[in-house]
């Protein structure tokens, strides 16, 4: 097994658009999605697509994506 290649996706919730907006400068890629799972799927596809050109030494079988998600806390209902 090759050494893992880990890319971190920074995601933030856009309340007005009701989407997660994520980007990763290391891939490079950016996408919007209605859920974190959908965002991960989109970013995974993009990462695997550009990996040979942008990271030729990385093994696609050892590619990992991690998401750092930021969303404003919702106040408790009264």
Please indicate, yes or no, if residue 74 is contained in any of the structural domains. Answer: no
Please indicate, yes or no, if residue 55 is contained in any of the structural domains. Answer: yes
Tell the burial category of 24 from Cβ atoms under 10 Å away from its Cβ (0-12, 13-18, 19+): buried
Position 74 scores a pLDDT of 83
Q: Please state the separation of Cα 46 from the chain's center in Å.
A: 9
Q: Where are any strands of DSSP class E within 1-78?
A: 5-14, 19-24, 29-33, 63-70
CATH code for the domain of 55: 3.30.2390.10
* Beta bridge pairs of residue 20: 13, 33
Q: Specify the number of domains making up the chain.
A: 1
Boundaries of domain holding 32? 5-68
pLDDT tens column, 49-63: 999 999 999 999 999
Low-confidence ranges of the chain (pLDDT < 50): none
Please indicate, yes or no, if residue 73 is contained in any of the structural domains. Answer: no
- The alpha helices in 3-72, defined as continuous H runs, are 36-54
Please indicate, yes or no, if residue 76 is contained in any of the structural domains. Answer: no
Please indicate, yes or no, if residue 58 is contained in any of the structural domains. Answer: yes
Tokens 């891939």 appear where? Answer: 27
Global pTM value: 0.87
């Amino acid at each position: 097994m090759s050494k893992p290649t880990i890319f971190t996706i920074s995601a933030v919730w856009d309340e007005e658009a009701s989407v997660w907006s994520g980007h990763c400068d290391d891939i490079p890629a950016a996408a919007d999605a209605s859920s974190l799972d959908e965002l991960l799927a989109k970013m995974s596809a993009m990462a695997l697509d550009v990996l040979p050109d942008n990271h030729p030494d990385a093994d696609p079988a050892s590619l990992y994506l991690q998401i750092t998600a930021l969303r404003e806390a919702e106040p408790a209902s009264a």
